[in-house]
Amino acid sequence: MRKKLFVAAVAGVLAALAQADPNAALTRLADGFDFPVGKPNADGYRISRGFTPHGHLGEDWVGQGGSGTDFRDPVYVIGNGVVTLARDFRRSWGNVIVVRHAFMEGGQVKYADSLYGHLDRVLVREGQQVLRGQQIGTIGNAHGLYAPHLHFEVHKNLAIGVVHTMFAGDLSNYYVPSEFVNLHRTLQAGNRLTTVAMNNYVMPTFAGIPALPSMNPGQ
C-alpha cells in the first residue's frame, strides 16, 4: 500500500514538473489549416503583395473592398496550436502573434509557426492554446506605419520568430503561406494532444532604438 502511494506521489510530482516546464507546452495536433482572414477560405480578401524569396517573406492580405476597408477586421489562427509570441514590436512590426502548430504529414509529426503581423488588437497571450478558426486579433497598420493589412508568414524553421536575418530567406526556412494552407486543408489524426517546444526564439533587443533595421520585417 505504501509503495503504491509512493509511486502515485512520484507520478504526481513528475506530472507537475512536466506542466511547469517553461520550455514546453501542450497543443492539439492540427486537423487542417484555413486562411487567417475571411475564414475559412479568405472570402472577401486578396493578396496585395506575395511571397518573394530573400525579399518579402510572407503575404500581405487586404480586403477586396480596397485599402482601409479591412481595418480592424478579425484575424483568425489558421490551425490548432499554441501562442509562442504575442507582443508589440513597436515600429518594426507593430503587434505580432506567432502560433506554433504540430501536424501529421507522411506519418510523421511536423511543426510550423504561423505569424500575424501589424495587428491592431491582440486577443491572446503567450502560452495560450488556440483552436483552428479562433479569432486572435484584428487587422492593423503597425501603429500607423502602413496602410492596414495582415502580414502573414508560415515558418518551417521554428527558430525564426520575428528575426528574419538569422536564416536564409528561402523555402528551406519558409513556406509560401497560401500554398501551405492550400496543401494542408484537411489532416489526418488531428486534435490529439502533443507537446511542442517553447521559448526558443532569439529576440530582438530594443535597448537602442536604431537596433531594428537588421530585423527586416518586410512590411
Residues that bind Zn ion (CB under 5 A): 60, 151, 219
The least CB distance from residue 146 to Zn ion, in Å, is 8
Of the pair 197, 215, the CB lying nearest Zn ion is at 215
Buried b (16+ CB within 10 A) or exposed e, 127-141: eebbebebebbbbbb
Name the residue with the smallest CB distance to Zn ion.
151
The least CB distance from residue 111 to Zn ion, in Å, is 23
DSSP 164: G
Of the pair 81, 218, the CB lying nearest Zn ion is at 218
The least CB distance from residue 8 to Zn ion, in Å, is 53
Of the pair 31, 177, the CB lying nearest Zn ion is at 177
The least CB distance from residue 147 to Zn ion, in Å, is 11
Distance CA 61, CA 49 (A): 8
Of the pair 199, 219, the CB lying nearest Zn ion is at 219
The least CB distance from residue 153 to Zn ion, in Å, is 8
Distance CA 20, CA 42 (A): 38
Of the pair 24, 47, the CB lying nearest Zn ion is at 47
DSSP 95: E
Helix (H, G, I), strand (E, B) or coil at 159: coil
Calculate the alpha carbon distances from 153 to 20, 73, 75, 83, 164 in Å: 30, 18, 13, 14, 11
Are the beta carbons of 164 and 127 closer than 8 angstroms?
A: no
Q: Which residue has the cell 502548430?
A: 101
